[in-house]
Chain A
Amino acid sequence: MIRRLVPAVLAVAALTAGCGSSDEAPPLDPDKLTIYSAQHKNLVDAWVKGFTDETGVQVQVRQGTDSSMGNQIVAEGSRSPADVFLTENSPAITVVQDADLLAPVDQTTLDQVDPAFRPSNGLWSGIAARSTVLVYNPSLVSEADLPASMMDLAQPEYAGKWGAAPAGADFQAIVAGMLEMKGEAATSAWLDGLKKNAKVYQNNIATMKAVNAGQVPMGIMYHYYWYRDQALTKDGSKNTKLHYFKNEDVGAFVSVSGGGVLKSSKHAADAQKFLAWITSPKGQAAIAASKSMEYAVGKDQPSDPALPPLASLEAPAIDPFTLDGPAVIELMTQAGII
């Protein structure tokens, strides 16, 4: 009996193994415009649909995360199948920019974007933005006792009082802003303070939920996790409030999501067209419509009405192409955080 069954089992295993391997991401079609994206999937899907409906250009998306996709493009070099790269934060695209793999973005595209949210070198453009916030639990810390600056969180009185997800690309972008504003010595000292004071979480959502559950009074994260939770169930944020540092503080840092066209692109014209479309009024309106709760960066483009206006956040002025991701990794490694 067993002997008869076995060949059948093996055959099924082999067949399913075949199916299993066809279940991986289909090989990229060289005739389609290829987007490497670390941005939120539903937002990118909305962009792709709008763009294809209007232009007829076929698009395929490879979804990933900031750090791995940026480095993947650098490793692939001029052989990269990517035509367009979209990130969540600037450091991932500056890695590609510094490897000299980006073609300049069309001036008409740049002209659509608020100059505060695109790099002055014109090698890529802002496509969306997110703000640093302090999420806090009012039952554990009163508004009056909140730190005036994010830099204060390194002080001994905040030991064990705050949480963050320092291994993530989001947090590294904030530290890259600090490095640009305050220099290496101050950043290094602040990271030492983080090592002593902060509770480390897996990601921003875990940080927010820990604050909500009263496990830690405060947390550093981006604004949109809170607004998305508020718009849905409020399960992870109902016991919390947001504090904006404003005042051009390090903690008021606004991180620019970047979009760029690869020098090696074989569909350069379509790639430029795609970037132009997502920064156009239609593309920027899709940000609010996708409920990703990120900020639009197109000139005079409104963001979701639930959000405080971007201009009211008093963010520090930082030219995003200067953000140095590798230097931040180096400092965080030295501080023993990662």
Chain B
Amino acid sequence: MTTTTPGRLAGPAPRRHPSPAGGALVLAAVLVTAVSVLPIVVVLVNALGQGWSEAVADVVRPRVWELLRNTVSLVVVSTSACAVLGVTCAWLVERTGLPGAGWWRVLLVAPLAVPAFVNAYAWVSLRPAMTGLGGAVLITTLSYYPLVFLPVSAALRGLDRSWEDTARSLGLGRWRTFARIVLPQLRPAVLGGCLLVALHLLAEFGVLAMLQFPTFTTAILDQYEAAFDTGTGSVLALVLVALCVAVLTIEHVWRGRRGHARIGAGVIRRPEPATLGRWLVPGVSALAVLVVLALGVPVYSLGHWLTTPGATVDGSALAAALGSTIGLALAAAAVTCVAAFPVALLLRQRQSAFTTSIERLCYLASSLPGVVVGLALVLLAIRWVTGLYQSATLLVIAYAILFLPRALVAIRTALAQAPGALLESARALGDSPARAVVRVVVPLALPGILAGLALVFMATTTELTATLLLAPTGTQTLATGFWAASSSLDYGAAAPYAVAMVLLSAPMTWLLLRQRTVIA
């Protein structure tokens, strides 16, 4: 204590600084959470607003069973297929002597750069008869298996071989070692990936509309187009929300509480790659077929339609769509990251029932399909907040609700770079809470914040469903421009929009490869 500031010494003992989780922070975090949860509340109020018996009648009708059968069979079949493909590919790339493993890793993740509805367009425009469950399973599996592949290969790289050695030395064979030692350690990664796949499938609209395979999401949009805001659409949306909650619950239960941890300071022993031997040729061929189907077909198809003569491409409309897409995506990225910041700061505090519920609510709200968020915001704007209807502001709010977890994950990781002790030091040296955050936390967390901005930006550029519902009149994004052309089967005119979206999505794939985690 060599301070010479007399005032400091003469004054009363300094008041204990309130923790950064001061009133303002809590208020901001609660506000963000409340906005995230708003869609569920609006849909619930609208569904039940028509009366309980009407709502029940809307649920108990043959159409709902048909939609339920379609939705559940798609989710079960495609998610299982993604799990098998993802784990097999990850094992081949990470644990065998596969030649050119690094290249295969890039090729196997690359399909993420092709939005699923562009992939569907690529297939359907070449093979129009490819409709129904079979086509839907094929397209969605090819589009979403990387969501399992990525976390599982990351997990495989992190495994310590000594466990397997121990198992082998205790007499387990190679396969039983895999089943009893490796697979259980992969479980969180596989389940996490499958959860993402299932949530994507529940939210999927473009692929299924194109393949004429109705699910809850397509039916909600049909209801909206036909009847605008009847309770029926909201009831269907509620059933869809229930399915999302069911998927989250199943994942939570299956994941269980078992953990696997290494204790000790030793370096992880990298496993010896298994030799493929006579499986080399079949293994490489299978991967090649997969890459051709998942990547080759869309690339070929887009090239085909781009170069087909007679394709009428309106250059100025394309440029306008590109401009509004980038504008909206930048706005969404900025708003989402600003909104995620207080929540991330709060979640850094000591865990309590309060912070846990904030976290759960934020993630639940954003596992909602775009159609539910879009529908809820339309209802909200037309009934209660009329000034916002058909404004870009409302659309940006929808994006922020949908993509908050992406920003949240990135910013929480980033904040880990700025330990609380540093913040306290800044406060002790006289910074106000806000100034301390800006001067200490923000610079240290910047790379992560930038990653969050990029993730939200790229997710926004290919968002279709909420954009269809909320885009201001006269505003077309790449996704809606693509949709307008391709739903009129004008494949040539749709191609440039699709290519633009693929080019904007490509950096995300690169980011994901670098980060080795899935935040999609």
Contacts and interface: CB of A to CB of B under 8 A. Distances in A.
Interface in B447-492: 447, 449-450, 453, 472-475, 487-490
B327 A19 contact: yes
A201 B63 CA distance: 18
Given A202-B487, A236-B489, A334 B61 contact: yes
Interface string B221-260: 0110111111010000000000000000000000000000
Contacts of A9: 450, 453
B383 A23 contact: no
Nearest to B335: A17
A338 B487 contact: no
A329 interface: yes
B389 interface: yes
B386 A76 contact: yes
Contacts of A213: 128
B328 interface: yes
B226 A206 contact: no
B326 interface: yes
A67 B473 contact: no
Contacts of A63: 473-474
B7 interface: no
B97 to A, nearest CB: 38
A3 B446 contact: yes
Contact of B324 (A6, A10, A23, A326): A23
Nearest to B391: A24
B226 A75 contact: no
B386 to A, nearest CB: 7
A25 interface: yes
B93 interface: no
A302 interface: no
For chain B, give the interface size range: 35 or more
Given A205-B488, A336-B63, A64 B473 contact: yes
Interface centre among B323, B335, B396, B446 (most CB of A within 10 A): B446
A278 B475 CA distance: 27
B277 interface: no
B129 to A, nearest CB: 7
A333 B63 contact: yes
B225 A167 contact: yes
A20 B392 contact: yes
B191 interface: no
Interface string A310-338: 00000000000000001001001110111
B128 to A, nearest CB: 6
A71 interface: yes
Given A21-B331, A25-B475, A63-B473, A235 B310 contact: yes
Given A6-B446, A202-B209, A20 B327 contact: yes
Contacts of B396: 20-21
A172 B328 contact: no
Contacts of B443: 3
A13 B338 CA distance: 12
Contact of B327 (A23, A209, A334): A23
Interface in A131-171: 167-169
B489 A210 contact: yes
A17 B330 contact: yes
Contacts of B128: 210, 213, 215
B225 A17 contact: no
A172 B487 CA distance: 19
B268 interface: no
A5 to B, nearest CB: 9
B62 interface: yes
Nearest to A338: B222
A6 B438 CA distance: 13
Contacts of A168: 225-226
Contacts of B219: 338
Nearest to B329: A20
Contact of A67 (B227, B324, B333, B391): B227
A25 B390 contact: yes
B334 interface: yes
Contacts of A203: 487-488
Q: Which of A14, A17, A236 has the most CB of B within 10 A?
A: A17
Contacts of A167: 222, 225-226
Contacts of A172: 226
A25 B227 contact: no
B472 A25 contact: yes
Contacts of B66: 336
B382 interface: yes
A2 B442 CA distance: 13
A199 interface: yes
Given A172-B226, A215-B129, A206 B488 contact: yes
A168 B222 CA distance: 8
Contacts of A20: 324, 326-328, 330-331, 392, 396
Interface string A184-204: 000000000000000111110
Contact of B212 (A6, A72, A200): A200
B96 interface: no
Interface string A16-36: 110111011100000000000
Nearest to A208: B489
Interface string B306-342: 0000100000000000011011101101110000000
A20 B128 CA distance: 37
A222 to B, nearest CB: 14
Given A71-B229, A75-B383, A333-B63, A21 B310 contact: no
B330 A209 contact: no
Contacts of B474: 25, 63
Nearest to B129: A215
Contacts of A233: 310
Nearest to A235: B310
Given A21-B393, A67-B228, A202-B487, A2 B323 contact: no
Given A24-B475, A25-B475, 16 more contacts: A13-B333, A14-B334, A17-B330, A17-B331, A20-B328, A24-B392, A25-B474, A67-B227, A75-B383, A76-B382, A167-B225, A168-B226, A205-B489, A209-B488, A210-B489, A338-B219
Interface of A: 2-3, 6, 9-10, 12-14, 16-17, 19-21, 23-25, 62-65, 67-68, 70-72, 75-76, 79, 167-169, 172, 199-203, 205-206, 209-210, 213, 215, 233, 235-236, 326, 329, 332-334, 336-338
Interface of B: 61-63, 66, 128-129, 209, 212, 214, 219, 222-223, 225-230, 232, 310, 323-324, 326-328, 330-331, 333-335, 382-383, 386, 389-393, 396, 443, 446-447, 449-450, 453, 472-475, 487-490
7 contacts: A9-B453, A24-B390, A25-B475, A202-B209, A205-B490, A235-B310, A336-B63
8 tightest CB-CB pairs across the interface, nearest first? A20-B327, A336-B63, A17-B331, A24-B392, A71-B228, A205-B488, A24-B472, A202-B487
